[in-house]
Amino acid sequence: MTGVGRDVEVAQAAARAAADALLPLRTGGPEGRALGDAGDAAAQRAILGVLTGARPGDAVFSEEAVDDARRLTADRVWIVDPLDGTREYSDPARGDWAVHVALWAGGELVAAAVALPALDEMHVTDPAPALPPRPDGPVRIAVSRTRPPAEAQAVADALGGELVPMGSAGYKALAVVRGEVDAYVHGGGMYQWDSAAPVAVARAAGLVTCRLDGSPLVYNAPDPSLPDLVVARPELAPEVLAAVAAAR
């Protein structure tokens, strides 16, 4: 695959390989934390296999590998979360987990794939997803099931909306893309790999993506931490950000 295929096709192939490794592990193998650990390792192996074969000269920045400082001087860096929502993956009844593969080049996210393997769905930056129209009814805001931020409740109160708890940053961002919710509000901690690929796909779909204070999300920064995030339908983004600012 070396030198062949567009970057988005490489991202998709890597996410597909991880999904193919993750799904069978959930039936009849390890359980609980051991399943999560096995999934993290198998998905990392699968993604590295594709990326080192197809793009051997690129750097890889992954949740499941030691952070290599060479990424800070590299022209092209794959930002990868092999299994986002490890907690949810470990419960075979749940579908809210994801595989994230993004390519950063020249200061921007330029291609990405997010797999939702339990739903048998793959979302990529090109062709861009079509954002469905918003249905009537209260504004729905996705939040972490285990760590919902106070800012999200403030947004729900200000907009007369409701919180929808879900696992996985990728699943939640894609829930906005897929029209299951209208916004995703996160604060209190997260890393670049949790949001890079989902943000790239969300932007391709025409969604607004930024920090809680409205500032840009910066990827391949030296600090892996990128602790907060808003993904919102464009018509709702100004109200969402105003509500966060008022609450702070």
Ligand X SMILES: Nc1ncnc2c1ncn2[C@@H]1O[C@H](COP(=O)(O)O)[C@@H](OP(=O)(O)O)[C@H]1O
Q: Is 228 in the site for ligand X (CB under 6 A)?
A: no
d(CA 130, CA 236): 17
Supply φ then ψ for residue 200, to 5 degrees. Answer: -60, -45
Q: Is 38 in the site for ligand X (CB under 6 A)?
A: no
- Contact by Cβ (8 Å): 136, 130: no
220's contact among ligand X, Mg ion, none, with CB below 5 to 8 A by partner kind, is none
11 versus 169: smaller Cβ distance to ligand X: 169
Least distance to ligand X, CB of residue 130, Å: 25
Q: Is 40 in the site for Mg ion (CB under 5 A)?
A: no
Under the phi-then-psi rule, with left for phi > 0, alpha for psi from -120 to 50, and beta for the rest, what region is 30?
Answer: beta
Q: Looking at 116-124, 143-151, 208-216, 235-243, which segment touches ligand X (CB under 6 A)? A: 143-151
Supply φ then ψ for residue 143, to 5 degrees. Answer: -140, 160
63 versus 159: smaller Cβ distance to Mg ion: 63
Q: Looking at 18-26, 162-170, 200-208, 230-238, which segment touches ligand X (CB under 6 A)? A: 162-170
Q: Is 146 in the site for ligand X (CB under 6 A)?
A: yes
Q: Is 192 in the site for ligand X (CB under 6 A)?
A: no
Residue partners of 28: CB distance under 8 A and separation at least 6: none
54 versus 184: smaller Cβ distance to ligand X: 184
Tokens of 65: 């590998």
Exactly one of 7, 40, 58, 81 binds Mg ion (CB under 5 A); that residue is 81
Q: Is 169 in the site for ligand X (CB under 6 A)?
A: yes
Q: How many alpha carbons lie under 13 Å from residue 81 in its C-beta half-sphere?
A: 26
95 versus 167: smaller Cβ distance to ligand X: 167
Least distance to ligand X, CB of residue 85, Å: 5
129 versus 167: smaller Cβ distance to ligand X: 167
188 versus 238: smaller Cβ distance to ligand X: 188
Q: Is 189 in the site for ligand X (CB under 6 A)?
A: yes
What does the binding site for Mg ion look like in residue numbers (CB under 5 A)?
A: 81, 84, 194
